[in-house]
Amino acid sequence: MNIKKILKELAVKNGMDMCGVASVDRFEGSPPGTHPTEILPGCKSVIVIGVRLLDGIIQANFRSFEDGRGDLKGLYGQYGYAILPNFELTYACYAVAQAVERYLGEVATPLSTGPMTMGRQISIRHAAVAAGLGEFGWMSIVLTPEFGPRNRFGVILTTAELEPDPMYSGEPLCDNCGICVKACPIKAIGAVGSEDKHSCKLGEKEYTYATIDMAKCFVVEHAMRKEYGGREDLVENDASAPEIFEALSKMPASGSGLQHQDSWYCGRCLSYCPAGKWKEHFKERELSKGNPLK
């Protein structure tokens, strides 16, 4: 019985577009507390599943950015960011974990998916790269050959020793074009070619990507100013990180969704990144004007 083939087919049957396996030794450089064996003692394999985001939902972002249709922004929040992809990933992770325990008698621990959940056990994006599903783009989001950065991922840890998939070694998926840097409305992404970058090692491969100023990113992501879709200006654009996080902690709980605080107001870098046949999916279908600076 080819259990890995069965697990990948099961992932697809549960709505996933991809599935890969990483051996636990590819996580040797994990920060303290996030190594797979610190979550599941005896973990030998890390299974990563992924689902693409609908082109029709990404185009709703373009209507918001390019046509001022802020009333459509929640479509991205519901179907592209906080809710549906994470439910789908959660169900698929559970199905794969159940199959591992039923067929192999090994232990399988599905991890949290997305901002809807409370807590993050390991870096899901690093796990996706380690499992061979893609590589990091400059904006630090995982790019896959088929869908660029327009994916979401889920992780299952297991004590089963599965054959690992090779890490991605095809044509580079990011050409450092800098569109993500230009698209960011608050300049939270370090400039291409600058020293404002981060490096990591997964297995035998090293990756470099931009350092993201998450405090600034949160200002837009959580709509902490009117210009980014908020109801009031809670901070200044040049506020310090402590000021931003203090304001974020005082924001009232959301009454419009399942999250404690809404956090789906942006997605510009993900939407405009040209990787994953962006031109064919969006420009040629006249779904986007292709202007990240507007």
Q: pLDDT at residue 260 above 80? A: no
**Model pLDDT for residues 235-258, shown as the tens digit of each residue:** 999 999 999 999 988 888 776 666
**Model pLDDT for residues 267-282, shown as the tens digit of each residue:** 999 999 999 999 999 9
pLDDT of residue 258: 61
Average pLDDT over residues 213-219: 94
Average pLDDT over residues 187-196: 91
pLDDT of residue 59: 97
pLDDT of residue 196: 86
pLDDT of residue 195: 87
Amino acid occupying residue 215: A
**Model pLDDT for residues 105-137, shown as the tens digit of each residue:** 999 999 998 766 666 689 999 999 999 999 999
pLDDT of residue 116: 62
Average pLDDT over residues 37-49: 97
Q: pLDDT at residue 93 above 80? A: yes
What is the pLDDT of the chain when averaged over all its residues? 92
Average pLDDT over residues 71-79: 91
In this structure, what are the phi and psi dihedrals at residue 45, rounded to the nearest 5 degrees? -135, 150
pLDDT of residue 263: 77
Give the long-range contacts of residues 116-124, CB within 8 A, separation 24 or more: 116/82, 116/83, 116/86, 116/87, 116/258, 116/259, 117/86, 121/34, 121/39, 121/155, 122/27, 122/30, 122/34, 122/35, 122/36, 122/39, 122/155, 123/30, 123/34, 124/48, 124/153, 124/154, 124/155
Higher-scoring residue by pLDDT: 251, 65: 65
pLDDT of residue 61: 95
Q: pLDDT at residue 70 above 80? A: yes
User: Coil, strand or helix: which one is 34?
Assistant: coil
pLDDT of residue 194: 87
Q: pLDDT at residue 233 above 80? A: yes
Average pLDDT over residues 148-177: 96
Confidence of residue 29 (pLDDT cuts 50, 70, 90): confident
Confidence of residue 95 (pLDDT cuts 50, 70, 90): very high
